[in-house]
């Protein structure tokens, strides 16, 4: 797998983490019923659940940032490799012209 495709995969993973982070922030429903646990509800108080969900969201956003940086690095390295191979091809063609 080349670096460009790996970079794009990292961007897709980053997008998934961003979506899941926003899900943790905005999808909250605390049901007081014993049988139904609610959505993103962990303890009895609403404020505590918002704090817990915001910490989860922060973690997912940091993971998204990490994969964005990795994806950008892979794309930059791919571009540098392309430029290096073009320079090498140009130098080889110049040497062939001078040798002829």
Alpha carbon distance 100, 43 (integer Å): 80
What pLDDT sits at residue 35? 67
What pLDDT sits at residue 100? 60
Segments forming the whole domain that contains residue 59: 3-99
**Domain total in the chain:** 1
pTM: 0.80
What pLDDT sits at residue 69? 97
**In this predicted model, what pLDDT tens digit does every residue of 3-33 receive, in sequence order?**
889 999 999 999 999 999 999 999 998 877 6
What pLDDT sits at residue 9? 96
Q: Provide the β-strand partners of residue 29.
A: 39
CB 38 within 8 A of CB 30: yes
What pLDDT sits at residue 2? 86
């Amino acid at each position: 797998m080349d670096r460009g495709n790996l970079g794009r995969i990292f961007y897709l993973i980053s997008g998934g983490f961003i979506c899941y982070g926003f899900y943790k922030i905005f999808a909250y429903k605390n049901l007081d019923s014993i049988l139904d646990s609610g959505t993103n509800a962990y303890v009895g108080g609403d404020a505590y659940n918002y704090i817990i969900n915001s910490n989860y969201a922060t973690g997912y956003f940091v993971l998204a940032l990490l994969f964005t940086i990795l994806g950008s690095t892979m794309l930059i390295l791919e571009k540098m490799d392309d430029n290096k191979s073009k320079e090498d091809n140009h130098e080889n063609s110049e040497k062939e012209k001078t040798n002829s």
